């Protein structure tokens, strides 16, 4: 989809797009202006200009994000849009920069990291007075790029673009993606870090969020003893992103941290609900507002294996596997607490918030599981053992998580079953969720039927019609998720110049909880050929 020139859009740019770049206006800038790799001290960001590209081509954009920003379709299909969001032209009011932050990576302090391949173009205030930062990923080097080139390739950009919007429609807190643009240039990448690099098509995604501030933005200042800068950033963050808390003070910092803990717990609960595995939960990839950020080697839990990680870098330790995500969020919050401790000077309020994270998450998890199972509410006396029993059964055989929970709503739970053995016909919809038929032994079926018998008796306590239960389950158990093999099929086509599957996936993933006639193929189990195929099973941080 090649962008077309539209003169009317130039008028709209001059009158409609309002930039209010509060981050660069209120926080200290890097005094050095040369774009060279270095340690940046005494600053929250460095001003930097995107790298020019040779022949940009618009592949796709998100109409939902377009609406949020107040853009028109004609603007999105104009040369002005194409050049602005490929980095070739700055619109009036843009003030591009890369942020300085550090982080703990795989449990170890990594020092300065920063926006190594992300450049923030500016902050738009839309017609509803919402603040949205426009950020190009893959637009060239910055002072934080270390030994890298600051660029991105088409395959990783497709994955980021599609997943950002898929997560939004799944109702998971997330950064958004405005556009996906091919640069017309080649970028060298070693996909699996195995010494076999190759040239790949370059691309740029425009990411959109109210803020891209991370835990690591605070960690870097504390690690350097820059308490004044730490306070400046915290005050800015509270006034901009948490204004309801009031004016910054030690008491407000504690309330702010408590809210960050709850926002983080809410995000993780949504990940666990839909079976999403982030893959790289470093503190520099944790949003201060509880948004899913940085889509690299992510994946959806197809085989329900809590120890699964999509990240090849994490293959040895499984630190960031599905089942560890709540504990890692807790660990990361402890690191953030350590970072903001100089602002409060007391351990107790920080420890209270950390402790409340665990209680809040546990309550949220129980509520979430009750919703997934179609229960009116979580009743500890019966439901703790019910949920525990199911989570013990699911990993016994290779079970597709998405299909299992979606099809659980199809079971006729209004019939009377005197014994678990009577339930064999009932379980037929669940058979679609199993990958290896030979694993479905009589012993396994006996255990599954016993659990179903208990489950149905529990549902009868709620005394609700079948349709009412199903109407509760379907909006929390998606039918369509962005399975890695689907993304890879779209990538394979796109690398040959065919972008049709990107657009088709965009449309299907807009309605993940609805039955979509003719689109059933997008809801099927991962095919066997994708079990070990690169891009379909495990991915690297270069993916």
Residue where one domain finishes, among candidates 170, 186, 215: 215
Task: Label residue 424 exposed, middle or buried (CB < 10 Å: 0-12, 13-18, 19+).
Answer: exposed
In total, how many domains does the chain have? 2
Could you tell me which residues are beta bridge partners of residue 174?
292
pLDDT at 420: 67
Q: Answer yes or no: is 361 within a domain.
A: no
Burial 62-92 (b: 16+ CB within 10 A, else e): beebbebbbbbeebbbbbbbbbbbbbbeebe
Joined together, the tokens standing for residue 181 give 């643009």
Joined together, the tokens standing for residue 519 give 């689109």
Spatial contact of 174 and 125, defined as CB atoms under 8 Å apart: no
Q: Answer yes or no: is 159 within a domain.
A: yes
In the block, which residue shows the tokens 């981050």? 23
Tell me which residues of the chain have a pLDDT lower than 50. 1-15, 543
pLDDT digits (tens, 9 = 90+) for 198-251: 999 999 999 999 999 999 999 999 999 999 999 999 999 999 999 999 999 999
- Give the side-chain half-sphere CA count within 13 A for 538: 14
Joined together, the tokens standing for residue 442 give 């009589």
Residue where one domain finishes, among candidates 428, 452, 473: 473
Supply the range of the domain harboring residue 184. Answer: 7-215
Instruction: Collapse the DSSP code of 467 into the 3-class scheme (helix H, G, I; strand E, B; otherwise coil) and give the result.
Output: helix
Spatial contact of 165 and 177, defined as CB atoms under 8 Å apart: yes
Q: Answer yes or no: is 266 within a domain.
A: no
Residue where one domain finishes, among candidates 453, 473, 493: 473
pLDDT at 538: 72
- 16 Cβ neighbours under 8 A, 6+ residues apart: 70, 71
pLDDT at 17: 87
Q: Where are the beta strands (DSSP E) in 55-161?
A: 57-61, 97-99, 102-105, 108-112, 118-125, 131-137
The C-alpha atoms of residue 287 and residue 181 are separated, in whole angstroms, by 25
pLDDT at 103: 98
pLDDT at 8: 42
pLDDT at 12: 44
Cα-Cα-Cα-Cα torsion 445, 447, 449, 451, nearest 10 degrees, comes to -150
In the block, which residue shows the tokens 């294996």? 305
Instruction: Collapse the DSSP code of 287 into the 3-class scheme (helix H, G, I; strand E, B; otherwise coil) and give the result.
Output: strand
Joined together, the tokens standing for residue 164 give 């950002």
Give the catalytic positions in this structure.
284
Element housing 180 (H / E): strand 176-189
Q: What are phi and psi of 103, to 5 degrees?
A: 165, 160
pLDDT at 181: 98
pLDDT at 417: 66
Q: Answer yes or no: is 238 within a domain.
A: no
Q: Answer yes or no: is 154 within a domain.
A: yes
Q: Answer yes or no: is 319 within a domain.
A: no
The C-alpha atoms of residue 447 and residue 337 are separated, in whole angstroms, by 44
> CA nearest 167: which of 63, 321, 271?
271
Q: Answer yes or no: is 295 within a domain.
A: no
Q: Answer yes or no: is 400 within a domain.
A: yes
The C-alpha atoms of residue 490 and residue 509 are separated, in whole angstroms, by 13
């Amino acid at each position: 989809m090649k962008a077309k020139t539209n003169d009317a859009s130039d008028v709209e740019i001059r009158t409609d797009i309002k930039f209010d770049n509060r981050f660069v206006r209120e926080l200290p800038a890097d005094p050095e202006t040369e774009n060279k790799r270095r340690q940046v001290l005494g600053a929250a960001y460095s001003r930097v200009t995107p790298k020019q590209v040779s022949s940009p081509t618009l592949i796709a954009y998100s109409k939902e994000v377009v609406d949020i920003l107040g853009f028109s379709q004609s603007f999105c299909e104009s040369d002005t849009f194409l050049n602005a969001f490929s980095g070739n032209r700055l619109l009036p009011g843009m003030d591009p920069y890369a942020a300085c932050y550090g982080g703990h990576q795989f449990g170890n302090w990594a020092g300065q990291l920063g926006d190594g391949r992300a450049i923030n173009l500016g902050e738009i205030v839309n017609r509803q007075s919402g603040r949205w930062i426009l950020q190009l990923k893959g637009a060239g080097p910055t002072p934080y790029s270390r030994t890298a080139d600051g660029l991105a390739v088409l395959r990783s950009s497709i994955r980021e673009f599609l997943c950002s919007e898929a997560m939004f429609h799944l109702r998971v807190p997330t950064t958004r993606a405005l556009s996906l643009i091919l640069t017309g240039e080649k970028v060298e990448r070693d996909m699996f870090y195995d010494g076999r690099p190759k040239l790949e098509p370059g691309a740029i995604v425009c990411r959109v969020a109210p803020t891209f501030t991370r835990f690591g933005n605070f960690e870097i200042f504390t690690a350097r003893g820059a308490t004044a800068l730490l306070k400046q950033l915290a005050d800015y963050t509270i006034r901009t992103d948490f204004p309801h808390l009031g004016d910054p003070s030690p008491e407000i910092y504690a309330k702010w941290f408590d809210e960050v803990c709850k926002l983080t717990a809410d995000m993780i609960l949504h990940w666990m609900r839909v079976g999403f595995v982030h893959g790289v939960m470093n503190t520099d990839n944790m949003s201060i507002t509880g948004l899913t950020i940085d889509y690299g080697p992510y994946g959806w839990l197809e085989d329900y294996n809590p120890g699964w990680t999509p990240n090849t870098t994490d293959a040895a330790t499984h630190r960031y596997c599905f089942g560890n995500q709540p504990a890692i969020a807790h660990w990361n919050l402890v690191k953030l607490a350590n970072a903001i401790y100089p602002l409060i000077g007391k351990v107790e309020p920080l420890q209270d918030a950390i402790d409340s994270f665990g209680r809040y998450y546990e309550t949220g998890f129980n509520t979430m599981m009750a919703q997934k199972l179609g229960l009116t509410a979580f009743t500890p006396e019966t439901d703790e053992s019910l949920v525990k029993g199911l989570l013990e059964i699911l990993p016994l055989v290779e079970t597709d998580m998405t299909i299992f929970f979606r099809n659980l709503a199809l079971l006729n739970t209004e019939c009377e079953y005197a014994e678990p053995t009577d339930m064999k016909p009932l379980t037929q919809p669940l058979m679609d969720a199993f990958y290896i038929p030979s694993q479905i032994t009589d012993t396994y079926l006996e255990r599954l039927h016993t659990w179903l018998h208990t489950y149905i008796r529990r549902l009868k306590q709620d005394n609700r019609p079948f349709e009412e239960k199903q109407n509760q389950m379907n909006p929390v158990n998606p039918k369509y998720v962005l399975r890695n093999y689907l993304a890879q099929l779209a990538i394979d086509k796109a690398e040959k110049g065919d972008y049709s599957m990107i657009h088709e996936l965009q449309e299907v993933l807009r309605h993940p909880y609805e039955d979509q006639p003719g689109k059933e193929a997008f809801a099927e189990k991962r095919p066997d050929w994708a079990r070990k195929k690169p891009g379909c099973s495990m991915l690297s941080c270069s993916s």
